[in-house]
């Protein structure tokens, strides 16, 4: 986005191109709302806030809009978001790792017990038929 802005494109044109590009539905809705907010000439940080971006991100955007230095902070915002998401992803993996292993063992034991019970019931049926 920053390179497009340096190339002379305004924010409305950039969001329009991103909206029309081949992206997932969630991002398309985001860029549509962003484009509408730009058409209204309003602040764009509420769009980021409504779509669940981290608080630090939309605060950076809000401050940047007020200081008119949005594009200078944009690269820092992207790298910060990537770092936060990577950290939270690792934290979630560490938190749920032991739980998923235990659930896996319980599931394996459940199926083994089911097979054993099936074998016992088949044996009972076979002895009853003799």
Q: Tens digit of pLDDT for each residue in 9-39?
A: 566 676 777 777 767 777 778 778 877 887 7
Please provide the DSSP assignment of 71-91 as one string.
HHHHHHHHHHHHHHHHHHHHH
Q: How far is CA 96 from CA 43, 89, 92, 93, in A?
A: 39, 11, 6, 5
108 CB contacts (<8 Å, ≥6 apart)? none
Mean pLDDT over residues 34-49, rounded? 79
pLDDT at 70 over 70: no
Domain spans in the chain, listed from the N-terminal domain onward: 2-96
Look over the chain and give the mean of its residue pLDDT values, rounded to a whole number.
77
Mean pLDDT on 111-128 = 91
Measured distance CA(119)–CA(39) in Å, rounded: 70
Alpha-carbon distance of 30 to 44, in angstroms, equals 11
pLDDT band for position 112 (50/70/90)? very high
pLDDT of residue 116: 93
């Amino acid at each position: 986005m920053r390179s497009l802005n340096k190339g002379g494109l305004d924010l409305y044109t950039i969001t329009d191109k991103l909206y029309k590009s081949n992206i997932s539905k969630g991002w398309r809705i985001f860029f549509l709302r962003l484009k509408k907010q730009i058409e209204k000439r309003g602040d764009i940080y509420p769009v980021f806030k409504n779509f669940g971006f981290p608080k630090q991100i939309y605060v950076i955007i809000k401050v940047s809009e007020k200081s008119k230095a949005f594009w200078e902070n944009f690269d820092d915002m992207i790298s910060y978001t990537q770092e936060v998401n990577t950290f939270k992803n690792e934290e979630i993996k560490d938190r749920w790792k032991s739980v998923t292993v235990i659930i896996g063992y319980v599931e394996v034991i459940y199926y083994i017990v089911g097979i054993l019970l099936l074998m016992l019931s088949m044996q009972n049926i076979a002895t009853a038929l003799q």
